[in-house]
Amino acid sequence: MAKQSKYFILLVFLLSLFTFQLLIQSVSAASTYRFNWSYPASDAIYSVAISADGQYIVVGSDDYNIYFFQRTSNAPVWTYTAGDYVEHVAISANGQYIAAGSWDSNVYLFEKTSNAVLWSYSTVNVVTSVAISADGRYIAAGGWNKNVYLFEKTSNATLWSYPTGNVVDSVAISADGRYIAAGSEDDNVYFFQNTSSTPQWSYLTGNDIVSVAISADGRYIVAGSYDNNIYFFQKTSNTTLWSYSTGYAVESVAVSADGQYIVATGEDHYVHFFQKTSNATLWSYSIGSDIGYKVAISANGQYVAAGSTFFHELYFFSRNPEGSGGVPFVNPCLLLIALIAISVLSYRTKRQKFNFEYL
Q: Quote the CA–CA distance of 105 and 144 in Å, as a whole number.
A: 9
DSSP of 27-47, one letter per residue?
A: HHHHTS---------SS-EEE
CA 232 to chain centre: 17
Q: Where are the alpha helices (DSSP H) in 238-284?
A: none
Predicted pLDDT at 295 = 84
165-209 pLDDT, tens digit per residue, is 999 999 999 999 999 999 999 999 999 999 999 999 999 999 999
The whole-model pTM stands at 0.80
Provide mean pLDDT across the span 136-162: 98
Q: In whole angstroms, how far apart are CA 120 and each of 60, 107, 112?
A: 16, 5, 16
Closest CA to 208 of 173, 245, 249: 249
Predicted pLDDT at 228 = 98
Q: Which amino acid is at 199?
A: P
Average pLDDT over the chain, rounded to an integer: 83
Beta bridge partners of 52: none
Q: Quote the CA–CA distance of 228 and 266 in Å, as a whole number.
A: 8
Predicted pLDDT at 12 = 55
Q: Quote the CA–CA distance of 148 and 161 in Å, as a whole number.
A: 5
Q: Per 3-state DSSP, what percentage of the chain is helix, strand, and coil (rounded to 5)?
A: 15, 45, 40
219-263 pLDDT, tens digit per residue, is 999 999 999 999 999 999 999 999 999 999 999 999 999 999 999
Q: In whole angstroms, how far apart are CA 89 and each of 45, 80, 113?
A: 11, 12, 17
209-228 pLDDT, tens digit per residue, is 999 999 999 999 999 999 99
Is-contact 141 152, C-beta < 8 A? Answer: no
Q: Could you write out the three-class secondary structure of 275-306?
A: ECCCCCCCEEEECCCCCCEEEEECCCCCEEEE
Helix H or strand E encompassing 336? helix 332-357
The residue ranking higher by pLDDT, 1 or 170, is: 170
95-113 pLDDT, tens digit per residue, is 999 999 999 999 999 999 9
Predicted pLDDT at 296 = 84
What superfamily in CATH does domain 45-326 come from?
Answer: YVTN repeat-like/Quinoprotein amine dehydrogenase (2.130.10.10)
Q: Which of 157-161, 179-183, 262-266 has the lowest mean pLDDT?
A: 262-266
Instruction: Supply the Cα-derived Rg of the chain in whole angstroms.
Output: 26
